[in-house]
Amino acid sequence: MWRATVPQLGEAVRIAAGLDNPLYFDATAPAGEPQYYWVRAVNNRGSSTFSTGDTGLRDNPAGLPVITSHPTGTTVSYGSAISLYVSVTSNTPVTYAWRKNGVALSNGVTTANYFLPVNSATISDAGDYDVIVSNNAGSVVSRAARISVAKGTQSITLTNLENMVFTPNPITITAGASPSKLPVLIELVSGPATLSGTSLLLTGLGRVTLRATQAGDDRYFAAAPVTEIFDVAPAPVTIGLSGLLTSYDGNPHPVNVSGTPPGVSVRVTYSGASTPPTAAGSYQVMAEVQSPVYFGANAESRQSYPLRKASHSQRRLGFWRRPVPCSFRQPPVRGCRWSSISFPVLLP
């Protein structure tokens, strides 16, 4: 004899054997709950096929609660919800007392539903759950529902890095695992850069590949790795030139260069020559960045102004000397003489 609460032989359990009476009373069946039965005849020649599942119902003269739907076992992921439900009929009010592994639950659930909020299932929540349903006539116990808690899944988020121009400043990389909040390992797979913890420092141009992983633990499976790829291009530099107007003095006068990052060299040419000119004239000044990670150029016209050399000439000036008093207002008188004296004077 086999019995089940559903019309499926595969769910039935054997409750008796060796019966020799065509009538059978099942004293172990829950009162008031429909049951399905299968029987198979056996003799020394062999056994018959199973009979069609017949239903039976044990009387419930005491008016006990009747469980019409038992809690169903399931497997949930770590951090997800657990929900159990029992359906009962009763002529009088009933109460519910949920248990886990035969021990009353500490949260004191007293309703037909047992529910753990979302994101709360842990490994310790695994076990066999049943519920005691009581009314003023007595109590009945549901079948146990086995709850298994499997490892949860997690995913990684990694800083989204777009293609960029070279920068000498460190770049902070952020990564996280959800919902586990477990630490994420960031690795430099390839490319012109160095990585220390979460600080990325570019060392050149080209393609950089990063990878983030999380190996999991006793609660979560390993997360799928996440890869981030971006390209680094040369950075533009603005070059400033000053000191373009000079005066000729026979000495070289290089122009002043500004605006370049520290440690970046600039090549300056003067009408194609690498040395500043010493002759007066007009020159085309070109400044170009000499760096594998920067680019930039500036061209200016330079005018050199010559100083004019001063030219000198000599002229003689004459002055009259008078030995005796003479008057310019009167005609010369006897004894009044003028004499002259001369000396050179330099004029511009």
d(CA 238, CA 256): 14
Domain ranges of the chain: 1-59, 66-150, 172-229, 240-306, 313-347
For 114, counting Cβ atoms within 10 Å of its Cβ (0-12 exposed, 13-18 middle, 19+ buried), the class is: buried
In the chain, count of helices (H) and strands (E)? 0, 35
Report the topology of domain 66-150.
Answer: Immunoglobulin-like (2.60.40)
Contact 147, 125 (CB under 8 A): yes
d(CA 309, CA 59): 136
What is this structure's pTM?
0.56
Q: Which residue has the tokens 């003689």?
A: 316
DSSP for 138-176? Answer: EEEEPPPEEEEEEPBP-EEEE-----EE--SS-EE--EE
Contact 297, 239 (CB under 8 A): yes
d(CA 146, CA 126): 8
Output the tens digit of pLDDT for each of the chain's 348 residues: 768 777 777 777 787 777 777 777 666 676 666 778 888 888 877 777 777 666 655 556 568 888 888 999 999 988 888 889 999 988 899 999 999 999 998 877 788 888 876 568 888 899 999 999 999 988 999 999 999 999 999 999 998 899 999 999 999 999 999 999 999 999 999 999 999 999 999 999 999 999 999 999 989 999 999 999 999 999 998 888 888 888 878 888 898 888 777 778 889 999 999 999 888 888 899 989 888 899 888 887 776 655 444 344 444 444 445 555 555 444 555 554 544 444 454 444
